[in-house]
Structure 1
Amino acid sequence: MSKNVLITGTSTGVGYEASLLFAQAGYKVYATMRNLDKAKNLREVIKSSNLPIEIIELDVTKTATIEHAVNKIIAQDGKIDILINNAGAGFAKTLEQATEDEIRWVTEVNYLGTVFCTQAVLPHMRESKSGRIINVTSVGGLVGQPFNELYCGAKFAVEGFTEGLASYVGPNFNIQFTAVEPGGIRTEFMNSAIDKTSVNGQFAEGEYQPIFEKYMAGTQERLSKSDIPLYQTGKEVAAVILEVAQQENPPLRIRTSTWAEQFCALKTQADPDGTKLVNTIASNLL
């Protein structure tokens, strides 16, 4: 019997590529997205390649759509073997510049969506005593970065959420948790971040503007001198997600590129994949 995988945020980018890779690897894929009008490309590939992918509407900021999607899958197949919390959105703007609505939005999309999708799927995995939950976070979930404090804050929350669940749900119910941490990705994610968060093409204003310009100039200089590529394709990141899903003993966390590994080295060198710490916590506290 093939395994079922539920993937959020599949209209473009990593989620789109992961849907194709998992289906090609023999999984039954439930590809979900907020706006089904954006499903045209995926539908065409499904039809031309006869892939086992079903597209379902799911908006991670609306719990009713999450519950509806999960209930539909359980009614059809009776199980969800893997949940990939991929949906997210970039956000680059100073805290002072951000509106209350924007702060709530970036938190809902990047953190609470993961929480509510996991909450909906977890009872079914717990009942079957098996499952995998893979949360796509970011190097921004380990390292805070200028002009990304709100995005990083949400991704830090996903990291703590993942680690907390892994410390007791994992060993007691045979459910495995992994945080996948990409660096830069060449997808619509970046374009969406620019469209959503810039104000007249700027991510900062007032006294922050010269700091932002200095930051960007330094970033460009470092990129030009680096022999390690910063940006990955969505397919390259999706390949890491598939690899994690197929491992018997997956890591608690994994970076998806050499650049991401080096960027986070000071935070991760004592316990690169997080397994040592979470196992220690589980053994000492339970």
Structure 2
Amino acid sequence: MNWSECSFQFKCQYNFKKMKRNVLITGTSTGVGYQSALLFGENGFKVYATMRNLKKADALKEQITQNNLDIEILELDVTKTASIKSAVETIIDKDGRIDVLVNNAGAGFAKTTEQSSEDEIRWVTEVNYLGTVFCTQAVLPYMRKQRAGQIINITSVGGLVGQPFNELYCGAKFAIEGFAEGLASYVTDAFNINISNVEPGGISTEFMNSAVDKTKTNGQLASGEYLPIFQAYLEGNQKRAEESEVQVYQTGREVAEVVLKVAQNDNPPMRIRTSQWAEELCELKTSADPDGTKLVAQVKSSFL
């Protein structure tokens, strides 16, 4: 039994409903989103796999055909509200409901605050935070009307622990954590809409490569007095991955397996890390309330 299985065995109660549940997943062209679309499809969900650029859908289309999966690919750019609304309306027109939203779309960003442009700062906030807010806003009326729903946000250990050269990315992920906690404090009891944050550590997908490509400036992610600090940061990452006693980098499939288990749980956690390494990194922040349910209960008793 692997780590994620152990973390769920004491509480996981699978939801065997007769009605086939549908799921909207953002950012499915690669990585965790791609693997989540396949895994949900393999486990009997009707999947709406969305992505900004439909030209990147070939790999997913091939898997759908080969495995006869109930997956429909839609265009959805999380930085454009019109695109979000169009995708949601398409699903509602076809199915009349959205059971699960997986806010997966996001992008890494590793650069100093001082050397980041205004456009870069706005972009990393839009794609990693506001996209989650606007997708959630778009599905909430339908989930509220049906008095059932589940919203799963793929955040990060960077949403709990600030890290060097990732402060802008971490700031966006911290924002999702606060957004989710606040939302969960009233929509779960009132409308039966569960909110969960899935918090991976390192993922061995295209995520980091895209982060590096996006944030390069004249061939470097940092320059001047920041450069030696950044080089030490990169060397530390590599050393940790090589020497750590626990696995630092997970595959997209391993993270997707945790996402699926959260979706299948009748009483899902408010938050969950996806690996032992991620758990250990966040221990000082999470030891008193590992899955976040105590904090939400305290908030509700204090304000409602």
TM over 0.5, shorter chain: yes
Match in the other structure for 1:205: 223
Q: Deviations over 1:188-237 (max 9, x none)?
A: 11111111012244221111111112222333333333111110000000
Distance in 2, Cα, partners of 1:62 & 1:29: 21
Match in the other structure for 1:10: 28
Match in the other structure for 1:70: 88
- Choose the corresponding residue for 2:252, options 234, 257, 262: 234
Matched AA of 2:205: T
1:94 aligns with 2:125: no
Distance in 2, Cα, partners of 1:29 & 1:188: 22
Match in the other structure for 1:249: 267
Query: Where do 1:138-217 residues align within 5 Å?
Result: 138-217=156-235
Distance in 1, Cα, partners of 2:61 & 2:186: 39
Please, what is the CA RMSD of the aligned residues? 0.9
1:79 aligns with 2:97: yes
Q: Deviations over 1:47-85 (max 9, x none)?
A: 111100000000000000100000010010000000000
Matched AA of 1:211: I
Unpaired segments ≥5 residues, structure 2: 1-18
Q: Indicate the SS of the match to 2:224.
A: coil
CA apart distance, 1:129: 0.7
Match in the other structure for 2:155: 137
**TM-score, structure 1 as length reference:** 0.98
CA apart distance, 1:170: 1.3
Unpaired segments ≥5 residues, structure 1: none
Matched AA of 2:293: T
Q: Indicate the SS of the match to 1:161.
A: helix
Distance in 2, Cα, partners of 1:196 & 1:177: 30
Distance in 1, Cα, partners of 2:75 & 2:294: 38
Q: Say which is worse superposed, 48-57 or 212-221, in terms of deviation.
A: 212-221
Distance in 1, Cα, partners of 2:249 & 2:155: 16
Match in the other structure for 2:240: 222
Matched AA of 1:133: I
Q: Indicate the SS of the match to 1:125.
A: helix
- Choose the corresponding residue for 2:298, options 256, 280, 286: 280
Match in the other structure for 1:120: 138
Distance in 1, Cα, partners of 2:254 & 2:39: 10
- Choose the corresponding residue for 1:53, options 51, 71, 83: 71
Query: Where do 1:22-33 residues align within 5 Å?
Result: 22-33=40-51
Q: Deviations over 1:164-185 (max 9, x none)?
A: 1001111111100000000010
Q: Deviations over 1:26-56 (max 9, x none)?
A: 0000000000000001111111111000000
Distance in 1, Cα, partners of 2:40 & 2:238: 35
Distance in 1, Cα, partners of 2:28 & 2:204: 15
Match in the other structure for 1:43: 61
Q: Deviations over 1:214-272 (max 9, x none)?
A: 22233333333311111000000000000000011110000000000000001101111
CA apart distance, 1:121: 0.2
**TM-score, structure 2 as length reference:** 0.92
Q: Say which is worse superposed, 115-124 or 196-205, in terms of deviation.
A: 196-205
Name the count of aligned residue pairs: 286
